[in-house]
Structure 1
Amino acid sequence: MKERIMGSMQAFSKAMFIPVLILPIAGILIALGNVFTNQKLIDIFPFLDNPVTTGLGMILSGSLVSILGNLGLIFCVGLTVGLAKKEKSVAGFTALLGYLVFVNAMNKFMELNGLLLKEDALQGTGQTLILGIQILDMGVFLGIILGIVTAYIHNKFIDTEFKGAAQIYGGSRFVFIVLIPVVILLAVALTYTWPFFQHGINGLGTIIHRSGNFGLFMYGALERLLIPTGLHHLVYTPFLYTSLGGVQEVGGHVFEGARNIYYAEIADPSVTRLSKSVIWDARGISKMFGLLGACLAMYHTARPENKAKVKAILIPAAFTSFVAGVTEPIEFSFMFVAPLLFVVHAVLSGLSFVVLSILDVRAIGPNGMIDFLLFNLPLGIAKTSWPMYILVGLVFFGIYYVTFRFLITKLNFKTIGREDHGKETKLYSKKEYREKKNQGKGEKLQNNSELAKIIIDALGKAENINTVTNCYTRLRLTLKNPELVNESILRNDTGASGIIVKGQNVHVVYGLRVTSIRKAVDQYLGRKEND
């Protein structure tokens, strides 16, 4: 039972990537639109004062903010696609149809029972307009619920076939036939039950916000501590996209969730100071500064004869963390050889949120320096206090460095470059990986097909692999027999920086190259994306 629950949670976490990872693109374009319409920047750069760039800025901001008002639909389709085991495109189309049926069914049921309020006074009433249709305000939870329900029905009935004249109603058509009564009954049930859930969610949000800095600390620490399980996305996603992260009126519209509020506020020129809710999305201190201090500490504590290799390994990993916010290659370099360092890392990450809150900093950098520059600099110091964010980051760089160096030397942790003689490091640069793989063979890898074969063999051969997907940095698989996994080959021969086995779920960490690796594995297995 425990393994089934963990497997379901990991599948859900994995599916959340589809809607969650696309939303920052909208945020970056909204920020770009803000650059073209920011009067302070126009005063500094007069060439921006023209109808082409200002018009483009207004179009970018105005059009993409609309995405924030339709997160329910985005999460419904995205989750369904992520959770569907086959024919994912059909599942996404079915989810769209189910969403439309649900919204209209709830509206008609509320209308028949006299539950609809006046449309011109919905703010704060628990009702809202979705696609121009008035229903209960369920926010992103509507998309999550319908996404899970649609994916379950799709997976259960997609292979249903009939004979004779009824055969045209099999497959995806039968899925939709089953889905219609389910979503209608769900709309009726949620009309009466959702207000109680909403009251509970609002109460939880109140408790979290009233807990102040302690709540921020726990949030930041848990978001790091759950990385080995792959469930850390379930910590920050509710705060970024639901009322747990705050509720704010911006430009006459009410937005829920730290990131939604932030995107709305940077698109509204009348906002002179960002709301404090943005701190829930200020995860960049440990990514841009803290882990750089940890890397420097590991380099300085490495054996003298290993420092050249350690430098070649850590510099690319540190650069990726600083620029793009991808931290797992660094974290997995000490997570298992020195778990205490990982706990310290989580604690310091939580403390960074507290410090930003105390200093009333409103800048964010969730995915590294690129995001930090795009989101904060155009808004100005008054709106974000971004120089203080940099200062806090430099302080944490020093704290990480001193703490890691002290613990590594005091407790003799076998971090990169400190391994016992005869043992190799567990994180490889691309050059070292190729050199190691080619020893004794006299030839280089010609393409990813050879790498895919090594990975598949190390996972217990093709027949042991049930499913293959990936997130931002991990190859995520479900295996028939996880005991067949050869972790040594995955680490030493394919450059994996970490392997996590939880029941039948196996995660292999490859960093930013994971997408190309996943495609190579799929191609070698002869599988298509929808298989």
Structure 2
Amino acid sequence: MKEKILNQLQNFSKGMFVPVLILPIAGIIIAMGNILTNAKLAEYFPFLKNDIIYGLGKMLSGSLVSILINLGIIFCVGLAVGLSKKKKAEAAFTSLLVFLVFINAMNIFLKFTNKLVPADALRGSGQTMVLGVQVLDMGVFLGIILGIVVAYVHNRFCEKEFNGAFQIYGGSRLVFIILIPITVILSIVFSYVWPSVQYGISSMGEFIKGAGNFGVFTYGTLERLLIPTGLHHLVYTPFLYTSLGGVAEIGGKVFEGARNIYFAEMADPTITQLSASVIWDARGLSKMFGLIGACLAMYHTALPKNKSKIKAILIPAAVTSILAGVTEPIEFSFMFVAPILFVLHAFLSGLGMVVLNVFGVRAIGPNGLIDFLLYNIPLGIDKTGWPMFILIGLAQFAMYYFIFRFLIVKFKLKTPGREDDGNTKLYSKSDYKEKSAKDKKAGSSNLAPVIVEGLGGKDNIIKVDNCYTRLRLVLKDSSIVNKELLQNETAASGVVIKGENVQVVYGLKVTSVRRSVDEYLGIEAN
């Protein structure tokens, strides 16, 4: 049962990537619009005072904010696509129809039962306008629930076909037919149930806020501790996109979730200081600073004969962590050989967020330096306090370095570069050049046969999927996975095996790796 629950959570976590990964793009465009309309920058760059440029900036920031206030439908469609196993385009179309049916069915039922509040009294009533329809304010949870329901029914009935006159009602049309009564019933059920859920969510948010820095510490620590399971997305996503991460009215519109509030406040020039909810999206501190100190500690404690080898691995891993916030290559380098360091890393990551909160720093950098520069610099020091973010980051760098170095030496931990039995494969400069060449080929069909072989062959693979950095698979027998082959011959940074679920870490090139494996296996629907 435990393994079954874990499998379902991992599938849900993978499905969440479809809607979640598109939102940072919206944030970056909003940031660009904010740059073009920033009055302080216009003093140094006169061309920004041009009406056309200013108008373009307003259009960019204003139009993308509309995504943030319609996250329900975005998550509904995105999650249906992410969780559906085949015919994903049809699943997306069905989810859109279901969303429209739900909000209108709920609106009609609320009218019948005289539960609709006057349109001018929506604030604080628990109701809101969704696509021009007044319903209970379920926020992003509405999209998540409907996306899961649609995907479940779609996966079961999308290939069901009929003969004769009923042939036209098979496939995706049958899925929609089945979903209509389900959706209407759900709209009625949630009309009664959701007010209690709203109260529970509000109470949980208040509890975490009431816990103060302990709540921030718990959040930051868990977000890192769950990295090996791939379930860390389930920790931060509710805080970034639902009322758990805060609720704020900005420019006459209500926004829920830390990231949504941040983007909305970023686009509003009348706001002089960002709200405290932004702290939930300050997860990039350890990515840009802490783990770099850990890398330096591992390098300085490496055996002399392995110095050049470990440097060839740690430098590109550190650069990737700083720029893009991809931390798995570093974390996997000590996660299994020295688990105590990984637990310490999670502890220090949570502690770093507490320090940011204590000093009132409102800068964010969830995905590394690039995001940090685009999101925070244009807003100015007063609004974000970004220089203090850097100072705290440098302090965290030093803390990671000295504590990691002390523990590695004190307990003789076999971190990369310190093993003398050859169990861990490290690379010299010549090896690294060869590995880099393999990295470039990793997206081609040349490595697909090797990857499939390392996974136990075609017949052993049940399902292929991927997230931001990992190839995620469901296998018939995970005990025959060849970790050494995958790491040494396909440039994988690490391999995680949890029951029938296997995750192979390839970093940012995972999409091309997934594509090549799909082509080799003859999978086209995904």
**TM-score, normalisation: structure 1:** 0.96
Structure 2 Cα separation of the partners of residues 329 and 284 of structure 1: 16
Aligned AA (2:249)? E
Q: Match of 1:478, SS? A: strand
Deviation at 1:14, TM superposition (A): 0.4
For 1:472 and 1:425, locate their aligned partners in 2 and report how far apart those are by CA, in whole Å: 25
Question: Given the superposition, is the C-alpha separation of residues 180 and 329 from structure 1 closer, same or farther in structure 2, using an over 3 Å criterion?
Answer: same
Identity of paired residues, percent? 64
Distance 2:153 2:510 in 1: 30
Report what 2:113 is aligned to. 113
CA distance in 1 between partners of 2:430 and 2:142 (Å): 44
1:523 corresponds to which residue? Answer: 519
Instruction: Note the 1:34-433 alignment, pairs <5 A.
Output: 34-425=34-425, 432=432
Q: Classify the secondary structure of the residue corresponding to 1:372.
A: helix
Q: For residue 182 of structure 1, report the CA deviation from its aligned partner.
A: 0.4
Classify 1:353/1:436 alpha carbon distance in 2 versus 1 (closer, same or farther; 3 Å): closer
Q: Secondary structure at the match of 2:407?
A: helix
* Structure 1 Cα separation of the partners of residues 429 and 281 of structure 2: 31
Question: Which segments of 5 or more consecutive residues in structure 1 lack a partner in the other structure?
Answer: 439-443
Q: How does 1:467-486 map to 2 (within 5 A)?
A: 467-486=463-482
Relative to structure 1, is the Cα distance of residues 513 and 430 closer, same or farther in structure 2, using a 3 angstrom cutoff? farther
Given that 1:427 and 1:496 are in contact with CA atoms closer than 8 Å, whether structure 2 keeps it comes out as no
Output the CA distance in 2 between the equivalents of 1:68 and 1:489: 43
Which residue identity lines up with residue 88 of structure 1 in the other structure?
Answer: K
Letter in 2 for 1:50: N
**Structure-2 change in CA distance of 1:122 and 1:273 (3 Å):** same
| Aligned mates of 1:250, 1:144 — CA distance in 2 | 24
**Deviation readout 1:137-177 (Å, 9 max, x if unpaired):** 00000000000111111011112111101001000000000
Kindly indicate whether the alpha-carbon contact (under 8 Å) linking 1:433 and 1:493 is maintained by their aligned counterparts in 2. no
Q: CA offsets, 1:23-47, max 9 Å, x none? A: 0000011011011111111112111
User: Post-superposition shift, 1:424?
Assistant: 3.8
Question: For 1:16, what is the secondary structure of its paired residue?
Answer: helix
Shift of 1:496: 1.5
Corresponding residue pairs, total: 525
Contact 1:74 1:143 in 2 (8 A): yes
> C-alpha distance in 2, partners of 1:498/1:25?
28
Question: Are 2:443 and 2:513, in contact at CA under 8 Å, matched by a contact in 1?
Answer: no
Distance 1:487 1:430, change over 3 A: farther
Determine the C-alpha separation between the residues in 1 that align with 2:206 and 2:443. Answer: 54
Q: Is the 8 A contact 2:442 2:490 kept in 1?
A: no
CA drift of 1:423 comes to: 3.6
Is the Cα–Cα contact under 8 Å of residues 437 and 493 in structure 1 kept in the other structure?
no
Post-superposition offset of 1:435: 6.1
Q: How far is the alpha carbon of 1:459 from its aligned partner?
A: 0.6
Q: C-alpha deviations, 1:172-209, integer Å up to 9, x for none?
A: 00000000010000001100110011111111111011
Q: Where do residues 479-518 of structure 1 align in structure 2 (5 Å cutoff)?
A: 479-518=475-514
Deviation at residue 436 of structure 1 after TM alignment: 11
What SS does the corresponding residue of 1:162 show, helix, strand or coil?
A: coil
Q: Deviations over 1:75-128 (max 9, x none)?
A: 000111111011011101100000000011001111122111111220110000
- Alignment-derived partner of residue 441 in structure 1: none
Go from structure 1 to structure 2 and tell me whether the alpha carbon gap of 1:473 and 1:349 turns closer, same or farther (over 3 Å shift).
Answer: same
Cα separation, partners in 2 of 1:15 and 1:435, compared to 1, 3 Å: closer
* Pair 1:164–1:433, CA change in 2 (3 A): farther
Q: Is the 8 A contact 1:278 1:363 kept in 2?
A: yes
Query: For the residues of structure 2 that align with 1:427 and 1:275, how far apart are their CA atoms?
Result: 46
Counterpart CA distance in 2 for 1:428 and 1:196 is 60
Is residue 242–residue 257 contact of structure 2 (8 Å, CA) maintained in 1?
Answer: yes
2:72 partner letter: G
Q: Is the 8 A contact 1:427 1:495 kept in 2?
A: no
Alignment-mate amino acid for residue 493 of structure 1: E
Answer whether contact 2:103 2:135 (CA < 8 A) is retained. yes
1:344-391, Cα deviation, whole Å (9 max, x unpaired)? 000000001100011011111111000010010000001011100000
Segment drifting more, 404-413 vs 219-228: 404-413
1:6 and 1:49, CA in 2 relative to 1: closer, same or farther beyond 3 A? same
CA distance in 2, matches of 1:165, 1:104: 31
SS at the partner of 1:161? Answer: coil
Q: Aligned-pair distance for 1:448?
A: 2.6
1:134 aligned counterpart, secondary structure: strand
Aligned equivalents of 1:527 and 1:154: distance in 2? 19
* TM-aligned CA deviation for residue 499 of structure 1: 1.1
Q: In structure 1, the residue corresponding to 2:248 is in which secondary structure?
A: strand
The 3 A distance-change label for structure 1 pair 507 and 373 is same
Return the letter of the residue paired with 1:466: I
In structure 1, how many angstroms separate the alpha carbons of the residues matched to 2:195 and 2:33? 37
Tell me the CA shift for residue 428 of structure 1.
9.0
| SS of equivalent residue, structure 2 residue 447 | helix
User: Quick one: structure 1 residues 445 and 322, their matched pair in 2 at CA, closer, same or farther if it must change by over 3 Å?
Assistant: closer
Equivalent pair of 2:94/2:176 in contact (CA under 8 Å): yes
Question: Cα deviations across residues 261-296 of structure 1 (Å, max 9, x unaligned)?
Answer: 000000111100000110110011100000000001
Cα distance in structure 2, aligned partners of 1:211 and 1:317:
35
RMSD: 1.7
Q: Deviations over 1:437-467 (max 9, x none)?
A: 99xxxxx979832311111011110111111
Equivalent position SS for 1:85: coil
CA distance in 2, matches of 1:301, 1:96: 55
SS in 2 for 1:123: coil
Inter-CA distance 489–54: structure 2 relative to 1 (3 Å threshold): same
Measured in 1, the distance between the counterparts of 2:388 and 2:237 equals 26
AA partner of residue 49 (structure 2): D
Aligned residues of 1:419 and 1:425 also touching (Cα < 8 A): no
Q: CA deviation at 1:222?
A: 0.3
Matching residue of 1:15: 15
> In 2, distance between residues paired with 1:427 and 1:201?
49
Q: Secondary structure at the match of 1:406?
A: helix
Question: Counterparts of 2:441 and 2:466 in 1: how far apart (Å)?
Answer: 23
CA 1:410–1:160 in structure 2 vs 1: closer, same or farther (change >3 Å)?
A: same
Gaps of 5+ in 2: none
Pairing 1:459–2:455 present? yes
- TM-score normalised according to structure 2 size: 0.97
Once the two structures are superposed, the pairs formed by residues 19-30 of structure 1 within 5 Å of their partners are 19-30=19-30
